[in-house]
């Protein structure tokens, strides 16, 4: 778990050591990001993104950077008015809640990954597993009911809904021990109407769809963002490896294949004296949130490099925008976590909560921002 802390719980309050990256070390890019909105102090950690039926941009705010701020959801209207939607109810067992990835279902209900142990960890042997997959019934724009689809999940993160199922990435499965010590993560699949499914966080789980191994020992953090292309193939980001996995299905909906579709060009170990100099020149060094457009271009939040990338249908990676360590006031990428195309803008949430030797971000600071990259 020590190397996982580098990517998972390098929260500002942990005081992990970190260096600085000079802007001169970052190569020039074709585009720069711009400020979309500045969020209120009640939203210090914006994360997940989706668009509701009225065309509003919806944002989840787990608020890891300031636990005194109740986790919530906000809406941004097409004319860029920021509105509080609702505060997430806490889990009675833990007195906390952590909404990260989410998606709307066909009936407008909200499916949310409650990553209870993101900040606390899963224990020395992976024995603490309190994460949940939630369904929030939404009627007339209001949340009327909360039900638990699945519980006791190690580390639920990204969420997508398709064809009567909800898919969720589980970024860490520390109970699964490999001889080489590498991290295993997975995608789980549930029916939309499932209730109170208990998972074991092992490869024996009935709802486990596909698993992955993160080979980068310097950042042991696995499956994160996910999305479907126009052909129904599932793409999953392996955060630590800077890789996109492509999962195909047979006619019965079972996994037919799983392979690496695109991967970073970076392979320098953290022990290399020039690690930080080289890391900012890499393409897609980490894969956090992803979003696929109708033409099957994959947009990627490169969390560790303060960058956003695009991967074309042939697997070619292009860096669209990149920032040095920044507070985001000028529209810079301040630790991008999720991406989505909204009103001809590539919108990006700035998580701004994790530090470490492999991160461009060196600390949490105001303002709290959402930025965008103009699209042609």
* pLDDT cut 70: percent of the chain above it: 92
User: What pLDDT shows up at residue 31?
Assistant: 61
Would the pLDDT of 25 be above 70?
A: no
If pLDDT is split at 50, 70 and 90, which confidence band does 231 have?
Answer: very high
Residue 221 CA to residue 214 CA, distance in Å, equals: 7
* pLDDT cut 90: percent of the chain above it: 90
Would the pLDDT of 295 be above 80?
A: yes
Report if pTM > 0.85: yes
**Interval 20-48 mean pLDDT:** 76
- According to DSSP, the residues that pair with 163 across neighbouring strands are none
25, burial (CB in 10 Å: exposed 0-12, middle 13-18, buried 19+): middle
> What is the residue extent of each domain of the chain?
2-374
Would the pLDDT of 17 be above 90?
A: no
If pLDDT is split at 50, 70 and 90, which confidence band does 13 have?
Answer: very low
User: What pLDDT shows up at residue 16?
Assistant: 36
Would the pLDDT of 174 be above 70?
A: yes
If pLDDT is split at 50, 70 and 90, which confidence band does 41 have?
Answer: very high
- The region of weakest confidence among 26-40, 304-318, 323-337 is 26-40
Would the pLDDT of 319 be above 60?
A: yes
Fold of the domain spanning 2-374: Neuraminidase (2.120.10)
Would the pLDDT of 28 be above 50?
A: no
Would the pLDDT of 298 be above 70?
A: yes
């Amino acid at each position: 778990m020590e190397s996982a802390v580098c990517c998972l719980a390098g929260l500002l309050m942990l005081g992990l050591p970190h260096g600085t990256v000079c802007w001169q070390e970052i190569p020039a890019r074709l585009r720069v990001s711009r400020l979309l909105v500045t969020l209120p102090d009640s939203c210090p950690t914006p994360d997940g993104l989706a668009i509701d039926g009225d065309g509003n941009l919806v944002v989840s705010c787990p608020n890891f950077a300031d636990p005194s701020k109740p986790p919530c959801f906000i809406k941004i209207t097409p004319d860029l008015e920021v509105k509080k939607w609702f505060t997430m109810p806490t889990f009675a067992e833990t007195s906390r809640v952590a909404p990260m990835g989410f998606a709307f279902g066909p009936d407008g209900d909200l499916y949310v990954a409650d990553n209870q142990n993101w900040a606390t960890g899963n224990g020395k042997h992976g024995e603490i597993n309190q994460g949940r997959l939630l369904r929030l019934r939404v009627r007339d724009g209001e949340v009327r009911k909360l039900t638990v689809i699945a519980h006791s999940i190690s580390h639920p993160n990204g969420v997508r809904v398709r064809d009567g199922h909800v898919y969720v990435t589980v970024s860490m499965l520390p109970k699964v021990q490999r001889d080489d010590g590498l991290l295993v993560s997975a995608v789980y699949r549930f029916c939309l109407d499932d209730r109170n499914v208990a998972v074991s966080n092992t490869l024996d789980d009935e709802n486990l769809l596909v698993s992955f191994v993160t080979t980068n020992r310097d950042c042991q953090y696995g499956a994160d963002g996910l999305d479907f292309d126009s052909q129904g193939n599932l793409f999953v980001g392996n955060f630590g490896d800077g890789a996109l996995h492509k999962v195909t299905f047979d006619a019965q909906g079972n996994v037919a294949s799983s392979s690496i579709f695109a991967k970073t060009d970076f392979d320098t170990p953290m022990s290399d004296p020039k690690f930080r100099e080289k890391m900012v020149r890499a393409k897609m060094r980490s894969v956090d949130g992803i979003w696929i457009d109708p033409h099957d271009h994959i947009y990627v939040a490169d969390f560790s490099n303060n960058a956003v990338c695009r991967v074309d249908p042939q697997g070619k990676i292009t860096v669209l925008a990149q920032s040095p360590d920044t507070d985001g006031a000028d529209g810079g990428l301040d630790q991008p976590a999720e991406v989505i195309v909204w009103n001809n803008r590539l919108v990006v949430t700035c998580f701004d909560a994790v530090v470490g030797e492999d991160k461009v971000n060196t600390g949490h600071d105001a303002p709290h921002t959402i930025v965008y990259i103009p699209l042609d």
